[in-house]
Amino acid sequence: MKLQRKNRRVLALGALAVSGALALTACGSDETGNGGGDASSSAGASNIKCDDASGQVLADGSSAQKNAVDAWVKQFSSACKVEINYKAGGSGAGVTAFTQGQIPWAGSDSALKPEEVEASKKVCSGGQGIDLPMVGGPIALGYNVPGVDNLVLDAPTIAKIFNDKIKNWNDPAIAKLNPGAKLPDLKIQAFHRSDESGTTDNFTKYLIATAKSDFPYEGGKAWQAKGGQSAPQSSGVAAQVKQTAGAIGYFELSYAKNGIKAVSIDTGAGKPVEATVENATKAISDAKVVGTGKDLALELNYATKAEGAYPMILVTYEIACDKGNKAETLPAVKAFLRYAASEDGQKILAENDYAPMPEDIIAKVRTTVESLS
């Protein structure tokens, strides 16, 4: 489709720009999942437009985008001398803090619900909270199964694992999808998020769209299925998977580092699809803007069977007031979001295992950011 050509161009630019992993600074958080590297990024600070940005900005929300935000903050703070502290306490915590007026900007892997938009009107003087899609990527299913280097699962099998119906790694359903693999007689340890999370919301939306009979829940940011074990934030789930034999858990791809293997998904396409930035972008290309006015909320196609399209995806939104932002933080928030949506800011995503937004979508984001008041 026509968006894929543009997406490939964006990804190609990002790939050419890679000169080493960024050394990320987490502003006191332990959420960073990437290792160190060359401190100078291809998306240098020289092109960042600071305007009147100054002071400190506290933000909270999605831990899935934490590594992207850290990379942005490193460049932006160097250019604009603004301290941005992104707490990454989870999408639920971020949206709540935003609608209560505690922070001027939040990150969420789920678009604002109608009641959250209504609540935001109390803190956005004359305006409301809007969704700005800024970060994309695959939700990886990390696993720790000794002796298994390549693992394929399909939606019904994943649903049964996380609904406590498939309990052992040598289950016939898993064996059928992995002929020739030496699956051990080992108990499955399925880890989910303990905090309210947009990653959970998107993961369960995928299961509901593709395996509703095996995952009969409403979905949402809070985990609803029975069984399994929980851990806080993306880093917590990834840590548990890494240290627990028999474990499987979901988190954003940038946390699938340091020896954590990721599941390939049998979508019904010609061959199983790996969790990669490029494959996630192919799926995000099917997204439709369903927000109204300046809101740019997207509808994702979790059930895609397109060749090479990885369906278990998320898009992280930066949430801010369209009008009525606080005067003391507006310049810094606007300058930061402008940089995140810029060509340089989007290049950083590809360098850090995230998917840049499709060109037509990010163009709308840039226009909307300039109109924030």
**Mind listing the pLDDT tens digit for each residue in 137-193?**
899 999 999 999 999 999 999 999 999 999 999 999 999 999 999 999 999 999 999
Residues of the chain with pLDDT > 70, as a percent, come to: 88
Asked if residue 311 belongs to a domain, the reply is no
Asked if residue 46 belongs to a domain, the reply is yes
Asked if residue 119 belongs to a domain, the reply is yes
pLDDT score, position 358: 86
By CB neighbour count within 10 A (0-12 exposed, 13-18 middle, 19+ buried), where does 185 fall?
exposed
**Same-domain pairing of 275 and 322:** no
In this model, does residue 331 exceed pLDDT 90? yes
pLDDT score, position 46: 64
* pLDDT bucket at 29, cuts 50 / 70 / 90: very low
Q: Are 227 and 117 in contact (CB under 8 A)?
A: no
**Same-domain pairing of 72 and 183:** no
Encoded tokens for 190: 């399925």
**Same-domain pairing of 126 and 187:** no
> Cα–Cα distance between 52 and 63 in angstroms, integer?
28
Which has more confidence, 19 or 123? 123
Asked if residue 301 belongs to a domain, the reply is no
Our CA dihedral for 145, 165, 110, 243, rounded to 10 degrees, sits at: -30
pLDDT score, position 81: 86
Positive or negative, the Cα torsion across 208, 213, 218, 222? negative
Mean of pLDDT values over 350-359: 89
Mean of pLDDT values over 241-262: 93
CA–CA distances in Å: residue 185 to residues 152, 241, 318: 17, 18, 44
In this model, does residue 130 exceed pLDDT 80? yes
Asked if residue 53 belongs to a domain, the reply is yes
pLDDT averaged over every residue in the chain: 88
**Same-domain pairing of 35 and 103:** yes
> Cα–Cα distance between 202 and 215 in angstroms, integer?
14
In this model, does residue 338 exceed pLDDT 90? yes
pLDDT score, position 18: 33
CATH number at residue 266: 3.40.190.10
Mean of pLDDT values over 64-87: 94
**Same-domain pairing of 21 and 125:** yes
Encoded tokens for 351: 């360098």
* pLDDT bucket at 294, cuts 50 / 70 / 90: very high
**Same-domain pairing of 144 and 110:** no
**Same-domain pairing of 77 and 18:** yes
Which structural domain range is residue 152 located in?
139-279
Asked if residue 77 belongs to a domain, the reply is yes
Asked if residue 16 belongs to a domain, the reply is yes
Closest among 79, 28, 34 to 253, alpha carbons compared: 34
Final residue in a domain of this structure, among 258, 279, 300:
279
Asked if residue 285 belongs to a domain, the reply is no
pLDDT score, position 34: 39
CA angle in degrees (0–180, nearest 5) for 23-311-293: 85
Encoded tokens for 172: 């016939």
**Same-domain pairing of 130 and 204:** no
**Same-domain pairing of 326 and 235:** no
Residue 231 φ then ψ, to 5°? -150, 150
**Same-domain pairing of 96 and 41:** yes
**Same-domain pairing of 194 and 262:** yes
Q: How confident is the model over 195-215, as pLDDT tens digits?
A: 988 899 999 999 999 999 999
Name which of 57-61, 76-80, 281-285 the model is least confident about.
Answer: 281-285
User: Based on the structure, what is the number of domains in the chain?
Assistant: 2
